[in-house]
Structures are given as structure tokens and as C-alpha cells.
């Protein structure tokens, strides 16, 4: 057998959801640049699930469906309050909360198309509410319920703070959600598909995906980027900090990608928003530091930023707690996970690869009292 560690370059399935071809990302054939500039996140979710952009009446109906299922039951919120809120990582809380949602859904075990679609709507609608509820509860504040007149992007920021967000904040957050929505067969998406390929339920699939996203080599990179920027502190410290990292051969988060070779096509959109937002907040030094790091890594290592690098300063500028960056990733990526889960169900085959055994062979069993 030929062993491909990390399954790099292995084609594991066919999909009509998203594609990465010649360093270009597209959702169902639509280039990410046009979608990032023009589409609402709700349009993207509809596109990923239905393989077409909605017409006006379809979009309004879909928005209404999401709004109707965004609320969390009071008893569910009481369960969240039982968690050790001040010490648990938000991704661990989200993983447990999504699993708990399955307990509350009486149709969780039903596997017909109609039931699975409704579960997808519930999960997409409730994920932002869970993350913002957790954020407020751990600060000793009561959760703020969603408003039916706001988009997913606007609602998230509203539920986080209780204040209606500014248009530029909504634009930035919507753009981030659009850019993170799907990314072909990444680690968390593959995890979700492996899980439901056993014909397990959607809640199990999404819980599995969150577990994979929790790892710093996947979803935790933007939080690590913000930690790095905080440690550096100022523009004049960048040079020494990055050179020391490179000398120690330590990984610099937010750079490089398994798939892209010339650069992540999503990064430039968040770079623009990072510039606008840090100028508004008076923290333009964060953007300047990021650009200097970008220049150094390009010159020294020929590495370019991925989507995580500039998303860190975007979320920071929106006054979002740094450890919520990865849960926000999940709020967006659940749209892609659900699309892939539904696609897996439609043409399912159990995913069961092989391993090349390299351990000892033909050992004879020796009774325990005879072993030395």
C-alpha cells in the first residue's frame, strides 16, 4: 500500500458544494470574490444547501424559517448555566451545547429528507444564539434573544452586546461569515462526513465537526494570531519577534495552507476590512503590525496569509472576545458542514480507509506468570 500521511492530495469523494481550482475558491461555481463583495450570508447558506442562489421570494421565506428557529428554549439556557462558564473553553461549551440540542429535538433520530432539512435550519439558526448566550452568561449577564428583523450577521452582534451594530460592523461580520462558510473537504467537514456516513444523525455530525474545528491547526489559528499580535505589542517589536520565531523554527499562525500555493483568495477581503475597522477604532497599529509580519514572511519564507490572519484584527475591532473567534468560525462553517452532511446522506457509502501496519508480527502469547 502507498501511505499518504494526512491524506494530502487524496480524492475521497465527489461534491457539488465548493471547489478549489488553481488557487481559486468557488461556492457552487460562484467565485468567492463576487460572493464576498455582494452576497448576504443567508444567500450563501441557501446556495450551499440548494446549489442555486435564491430568488427574492425564496430568500425571504428562508430568512423567515431561520428567524423562527433562532430562539433557544428557557430550559436549554438553564442547562448552559450549569456549565463551569468561567473556566470552560467556548469551543468545548459549543460542542456540548450542540450535542444537547439533539436531546431537545424530538425529530433528532428521524432520517427522512424533510426532517433532516428542518434539523439543518434549526442548527444554522441556533448556533449564533448559543455562542452569544454563552458569552453573556459567563460575564454574569442574561442572554439577549434574537430579533426577527435582523440578519444573521447583525443579530449576532446585537445579541452579543444588546446594541444595534453600525453598518460597517455588519458588513465586516457578514463578509467574514461568507468567506468561512465552506472550504471543500477540510478536516472538520471530512469529520462530519465520516460521522454521518455511518448513518448517525445530524447533531452527531455537527458535534464531531466542532470537535475537529477546536484544534489549533484548524479553527484555532485566528485566536492564536491575536495572541501573537498582543504579545508583540507594537510595530517596532515585530522584527525581533518574528526573527526569533523563525530562528527557533516555530510555526507562525495565520500563514501557509495545505491546499493553496500562491495564496488564500479569502485573505484580501478581510485585509481590507481590517484596515477600515482598525482606523475607526484607533488601533491602526494592529493593521500596521500585521502588514509588516506579512511582508517579512513573504520575503523570508515565501509564505502568505491565510483567511485566519486578518480575521483576527477584524473580530478584535468588533470588540469580540478573542476566545470566541473559533466559535464564530463554527457559526459560519456549520452552513458548509450541513451541506456536506445532506450530500453524504443523498449518496452514502461508509468511509472506511485502511492503515499500513508497521508494528511487530507473529508474536507468541506468553502467560503472565512466565513473562520477564
Q: Which residues are catalytic?
A: 257, 308
Spatial separation of the C-alpha atoms in residues 360 and 363, rounded to whole Å: 7
In terms of C-beta density within 10 A (0-12 exposed, 13-18 middle, 19 or more buried), how is residue 38 classed?
Answer: exposed
The neighbour count for residue 29, using CB atoms within 10 Å, is: 11
3-state secondary structure of 182: coil
Give the three cell numbers for residue 156: 449576532
3-state secondary structure of 163: coil
Residue 350, C-beta contacts closer than 8 angstroms, at least 6 positions apart: 197, 198
* CB-based contact 51:16 (threshold 8 Å): yes
CA neighbor of 163 nearest in space, from 41, 364, 49, 319: 319
* CB-based contact 232:241 (threshold 8 Å): yes
Spatial separation of the C-alpha atoms in residues 152 and 173, rounded to whole Å: 9
User: Residue 333 phi/psi, 5° resolution?
Assistant: -70, -20
Give the three cell numbers for residue 206: 455537527
User: Residue 8 phi/psi, 5° resolution?
Assistant: -60, 125
* CB-based contact 54:107 (threshold 8 Å): no
CA dihedral of residues 223, 224, 230, 234 (deg, nearest 10): -120
**Cell 444573521 sits at which residue?**
152
Query: ∠250-270-317 over CA atoms, to 5°?
Result: 85
Cα–chain-centroid distance for residue 154?
A: 18
Amino acid at each position: 500500500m502507498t501511505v499518504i500521511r494526512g491524506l494530502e492530495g487524496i480524492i475521497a469523494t465527489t461534491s457539488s458544494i465548493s471547489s478549489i481550482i488553481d488557487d481559486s475558491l468557488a461556492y457552487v461555481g460562484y467565485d468567492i470574490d463576487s460572493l464576498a463583495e455582494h452576497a448576504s450570508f443567508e444567500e450563501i447558506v441557501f446556495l450551499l444547501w440548494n446549489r442555486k442562489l435564491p430568488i427574492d421570494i425564496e430568500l425571504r421565506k428562508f430568512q423567515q424559517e431561520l428567524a423562527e428557529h433562532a430562539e433557544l428554549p428557557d430550559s436549554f439556557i438553564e442547562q448552559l448555566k450549569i456549565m463551569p462558564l468561567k473556566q470552560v473553553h467556548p469551543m468545548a461549551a459549543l460542542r456540548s451545547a450542540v450535542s444537547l440540542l439533539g436531546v431537545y429535538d424530538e425529530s433528532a433520530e428521524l432520517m427522512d429528507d424533510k426532517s433532516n432539512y428542518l434539523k439543518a435550519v434549526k442548527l444554522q439558526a441556533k448556533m449564533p444564539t448559543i455562542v452569544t448566550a454563552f458569552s453573556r452568561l459567563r460575564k454574569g449577564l442574561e442572554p439577549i434573544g434574537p430579533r426577527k428583523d435582523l440578519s444573521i450577521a447583525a443579530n449576532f452582534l446585537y445579541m452579543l452586546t444588546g446594541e444595534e451594530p453600525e453598518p460597517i460592523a455588519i458588513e465586516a461580520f457578514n463578509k467574514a461569515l461568507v468567506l468561512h462558510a465552506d472550504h471543500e473537504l477540510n478536516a472538520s467537514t471530512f469529520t462530519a462526513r465520516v460521522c454521518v456516513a455511518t448513518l448517525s444523525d445530524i447533531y452527531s455530525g455537527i458535534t464531531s465537526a466542532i470537535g475537529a474545528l477546536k484544534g489549533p491547526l484548524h479553527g484555532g489559528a485566528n485566536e492564536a494570531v491575536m495572541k501573537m499580535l498582543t504579545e508583540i505589542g507594537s510595530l517596532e517589536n515585530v522584527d525581533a519577534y518574528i526573527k526569533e520565531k523563525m530562528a527557533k523554527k516555530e510555526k507562525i499562525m495565520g500563514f501557509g495552507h495545505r491546499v493553496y500555493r500562491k495564496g488564500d483568495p479569502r485573505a484580501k477581503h478581510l485585509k481590507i476590512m481590517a484596515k477600515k475597522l482598525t482606523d475607526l477604532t484607533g488601533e491602526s497599529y494592529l493593521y500596521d503590525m500585521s502588514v509588516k509580519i506579512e511582508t517579512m514572511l513573504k520575503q523570508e519564507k515565501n509564505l502568505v496569509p491565510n483567511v485566519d490572519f486578518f480575521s483576527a484584527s477584524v473580530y478584535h475591532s468588533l470588540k469580540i472576545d478573542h476566545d470566541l473567534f473559533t466559535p464564530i468560525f463554527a457559526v459560519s462553517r456549520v452552513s458548509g458542514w450541513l451541506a456536506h452532511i445532506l450530500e453524504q446522506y443523498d449518496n452514502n457509502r461508509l468511509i472506511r480507509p485502511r492503515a499500513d501496519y508497521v508494528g511487530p508480527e507473529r508474536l507468541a502469547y506468553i502467560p503472565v506468570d512466565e513473562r520477564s
